[in-house]
Chain A
Amino acid sequence: MDRIPILKLGDALLVTVQVDMHDQLATALEEDLTAKIVAHGAKGVLIDISALEIVDSFIGRMLDNIAAVSRILDADTVVVGMRPAVAITLVELGLSLTGVKTALNVERGMALIKTRATPRDDDDDGED
């Protein structure tokens, strides 16, 4: 069975989903990712879904789960590159992935993880 590769990039883990996710693949990714976060002591997880044209409620829930698990393991999850159509579908499904951070592309996502990794105290206007 093929698995989705997980790359280590400094403190962060990078997952680029290039194939259509079926449920088994998603569950496998969830398990692999949990193991890798613990093994590498990662501070951030970047999931690039720019190649995904279809995200159903199962994948949406899986993303939420990954975020919850990584939060327990002290790592931020950032989902990047979501397509407009996918975003609209998820909102219509009622899945707004409140636990997940989002960014437009991998570059911005990495920047987001870096700012979280190096704590700052300039929260002046009540951020979410």
Chain B
Amino acid sequence: MTGELGTLANIVSNNEGKILPEWLDLLKTSGILQSGRLKEGELATHCRSFLHALRDGLAGGNSHAGHESYAETREILADFSRSRAVQGFSPSETATFVFSLKQPLFNVVNREKGLAPAVIVQMIWAITALLDQFGLYTVEVYQKSRESIISRQQREISELSTPVVKLWKGILALPVIGTLDSERTQIVMENLLQAIVTEGAEIAIIDITGVPTVDTLTAQHLLKTTAAARLMGADCIISGIRPQIAQTMVHLGVELNVISKATLADAFQVALRRTGRAITKLKSAAPDNGKSLDEDRVG
């Protein structure tokens, strides 16, 4: 095996001028440049550096892509597929880069004079096995970088979607948007409790208008949050339970043993009354003077 790979490395370095244009042509016909996300010059540079690294690796004579002689090759591939993932290429477009090298390589091996057919077959087999491994490696790196993008976005979304809003002195609102899983409940709870301490809040309104479904687990998470807020000396009101959700909760036998109101406005009114305030309409509200008709004052 070692002998073939060594010969192959020689063939590759002798025929570089033939392999590269052929490979580039194949890549172009595969449509990788059509989207305009990649410049032709850039692609050519990638191809050349990969081919050089592969040639150096082949000279090491190892048929396993994980061997250290291919460390540089792998590094180039990893860089390349990470940038492809960021640019939004599909996995197959990314993997085609490696697989399309097979044909030019087979051609140069075929054209090489003085090789026994059996040797050619073995060489072709060695190239196939090696490039397949590299192709899989590319897809793996691509997948990993995609996953890291997803997890970063997830983190950002969870940070963005759990704000604690101060409605009035001593009254906090917590609009929950999206599904409440254990991890988010933890973040929501920590944010809320911290806000209760810093604002000195007496009442916290948890608004679940933005929660698509409430199952037993979500209800349990809500209960945990209210229990923790109560331990801190703040009362919780749950608002924004949509009709379908109310029905589901009753069917599931879920009971929230806290005060619940249909809308945030109702909950806010209760909260104001609890803290000894009320909303009254200004009697002297003159119509048609360009100002708000329905101005309420909190007293």
Contacts and interface: CB of A to CB of B under 8 A. Distances in A.
Interface of A: 79-80, 82-84, 86-88, 90-92, 96-97, 102-105, 108-109, 124-126, 128
Most central of A79, A104, A108, A126 by chain B CB within 10 Å: A104
Contacts of B189: 88
Interface of B: 186, 189-190, 193-194, 196-197, 200-202, 224, 227-235, 259, 270, 273-274
A88 B196 CA distance: 13
Contacts, number: 60
A97 B233 contact: no
A65 B189 CA distance: 27
Contact of B231 (A90, A125, A128): A90
A91 B228 contact: yes
Given A86-B231, A104-B202, A105-B233, 8 more contacts: A87-B193, A88-B193, A91-B224, A91-B228, A104-B197, A104-B201, A104-B232, A109-B233
- Majority secondary structure, B binding face: helix
Contacts of A88: 186, 189-190, 193, 228
B197 A96 contact: no
A104 B233 contact: yes
Contacts of A126: 259
Most central of A80, A87, A124 by chain B CB within 10 Å: A87
Contact of A96 (B194, B227, B273): B227
B227 A80 contact: no
Contacts of B270: 125
A83 B196 CA distance: 10
Given A87-B232, A88-B190, A104 B200 contact: yes
A96 B257 CA distance: 13
Most central of A82, A90, A105, A109 by chain B CB within 10 Å: A82
A108 B196 CA distance: 13
Contact of A108 (B227, B233, B274): B233
A87 B235 CA distance: 14
A18 to B, nearest CB: 19
Contacts of B232: 82, 84, 87, 102, 104
A79 B231 CA distance: 8
Nearest to B195: A84
A96 B233 contact: no
6 contacts: A82-B231, A88-B186, A102-B231, A104-B200, A104-B201, A128-B235
Contacts of B197: 83-84, 104
A84 B197 CA distance: 8
A108 to B, nearest CB: 6
Contacts of B228: 84, 87-88, 90-91
A92 to B, nearest CB: 8
B231 A97 contact: yes
B235 to A, nearest CB: 8
A46 to B, nearest CB: 12
